[in-house]
Amino acid sequence: MRKVLRAFLLILGIFLILSGLLFFLQGTGVFPYPRSSFMINKTIWEIRGALILALGAAVLILRSLWRPRP
């Protein structure tokens, strides 16, 4: 069960980091694809992306620090 939880946290952390990075880059206009995206050059998506990215990093850091009891 613990291995399943650690694997889930790894997948969740990576997903959050990639999603946050995408939101941030679209918000800044660095990654303007698809062209019709409503997120391009919008400051709110920069902020949301940075927060989601930080949350994903926190999940991965806490996962690495978590040592289950035997």
| pLDDT the model gives residue 20 | 98
3-38 pLDDT, tens digit per residue, is 899 999 999 999 999 999 999 999 999 998 888 999
70 pLDDT band, cuts 50/70/90, is: low
- Buried b / exposed e along 32-62 (16+ C-beta atoms within 10 A): eeeeeeebbebeebbebbeebbebbeebbee
66 pLDDT band, cuts 50/70/90, is: confident
pTM to 2 decimal places: 0.89
Closest listed residue to residue 53, CA positions, set 7, 11, 22: 22
What residues contact residue 47 under an 8 Å CB cut-off, 6+ apart?
A: 27
Tokens of 54: 């930080």
